[in-house]
Structure 1
């Protein structure tokens, strides 16, 4: 009975939806995290009678035909690109991107990765790195005797010293944009890699080419809406239960068939 296989695909789809929602809720407090959404598409159709065929009895053309759907399949899990709220931290190396774009970091392999997590740190050598120790590109080193640093909206980094009146320009942060940011490959630790779907990186000064500016002393909160996630969780749970009932009904029908004498 096809209903068993069709209901099974529906249960698997709702399970994937619940897993996606679970990941969103688990990352409610992850800096710069964007919610994911599971999307689905119907499977192939069995054409028992094609629309437009000629009715053999009187020669009329059938307007619809008989097309039996065979279930559902996951088509994608997409990222909902949305600006999270900016939370003030007061940290001199906490940076939030106000708008589109990513910070570029260099992995130990030398490959470039991209992140919106602006919770930066200072290494033992004064190099500006992420919380996992990856250097931010372009590399900026803060002198050990710097009293404080200031980062403006355009990404320029200034250091202040006790024995000088004027600040010293240490370098400038850049932001990176992509033609299709949803096509970036997530690798964990708030990092993304360029892919053939995302297009090449567009490195710009913050505030230019439609990219966002930097806000020192702020971090971008997760864009997960807890109320929406719980609502979708209830919908997914009910959808799973309905498909399970179809499975039970199909099993009962098969049971009745086997008892026919």
Structure 2
């Protein structure tokens, strides 16, 4: 009985964690370049059981088999499918197309991080930065300075200012979604090998939209909430049966 309660409780914790992920996806529907998080749930290891249970009539019933130990998050990955394109006309807005594994590089206090959010601007030092003020890095892993009025960002990421090429956006490829780790602020860390991206196209004056599908996430949320309620009912049932068994126990 206790094992059943433990398994149900562990399953509810797993469902709660997955519900948090779905909620976070929904909260970022309007975040440029946001990629939804996918979590897969699997059953934990089963334990062999060889016990004797008391029956309501006082008899004893042997039980041999396996009892589950609840569920757990087995894998987590970033969904790299492309979002839509939004035309903004801003000369500092850029979107990466054709290559879903390609990311911009930005410098943060915790090291280089990666993003698909090309909603950039200039700081007081004329450096190209994210909305949180993190410098966008060039192909040479250096901050990009834009000192001029006429700014053209070509499809290969090269930057021309007043007719002169000054820099190139540092765009890299993160090829394994399971190694991409969300860091907050629409940034990601990568636990694999980072390589220069190829076969991509940069569009100036556009932003990539979030790839979150509202209907899909809402359906998942409802299913998770119902499964969580089922876990609660299972715990109550197990608790009641345990109480009945103890009340009938005779030494």
Q: What's 2:53 paired with? A: none
Written as runs of structure 1 = structure 2, the 5 A alignment for 1:1-261 is 1=1, 2-48=3-49, 66-98=65-97, 99-100=99-100, 101-108=102-109, 111-138=111-138, 139-143=143-147, 146-160=148-162, 167-195=163-191, 199-204=192-197, 208=198, 210=199, 212-260=200-248
The alpha-carbon deviation at position 159 of structure 1 amounts to 2.2
The alpha-carbon deviation at position 186 of structure 1 amounts to 2.1
SS in structure 2 opposite 1:102?
A: strand
Q: Deviations over 1:67-111 (max 9, x none)?
A: 3222212223321111111111110010011133011122246x3
The alpha-carbon deviation at position 41 of structure 1 amounts to 2.0
Cα distance in 2 for partners of 1:258, 1:140 equals 72
The alpha-carbon deviation at position 47 of structure 1 amounts to 2.4
Q: What's 2:58 paired with? A: none
Cα distance in 1 for partners of 2:125, 2:242 equals 72
The alpha-carbon deviation at position 231 of structure 1 amounts to 0.3
Uncovered stretches (5+) of structure 1, i.e. residues with no partner: 50-64, 161-166
Q: Deviations over 1:196-234 (max 9, x none)?
A: xxx221124xxx3x4x21110011111111100110111
Cα distance in 2 for partners of 1:108, 1:68 equals 47
The alpha-carbon deviation at position 152 of structure 1 amounts to 1.3
Cα distance in 2 for partners of 1:154, 1:172 equals 8
- Does the 8 A contact of 1:16 with 1:38 survive in 2? no
Cα distance in 1 for partners of 2:185, 2:49 equals 50
Cα distance in 2 for partners of 1:85, 1:119 equals 14
Report the TM-score, using the length of structure 1 for normalisation. 0.81
CA RMSD of aligned residues (A): 1.9
Uncovered stretches (5+) of structure 2, i.e. residues with no partner: 51-63
Moved over 4 A (4+): none
The alpha-carbon deviation at position 8 of structure 1 amounts to 1.1
| Number of residue pairs the alignment of both structures matches | 229
- Say which is worse superposed, 176-185 or 31-40, in terms of deviation: 176-185
- Does the 8 A contact of 2:77 with 2:180 survive in 1? no
The alpha-carbon deviation at position 66 of structure 1 amounts to 2.6
Q: What's 1:60 paired with? A: none
Report the TM-score, using the length of structure 2 for normalisation. 0.84
Change (3 A) 1:80 1:123: same
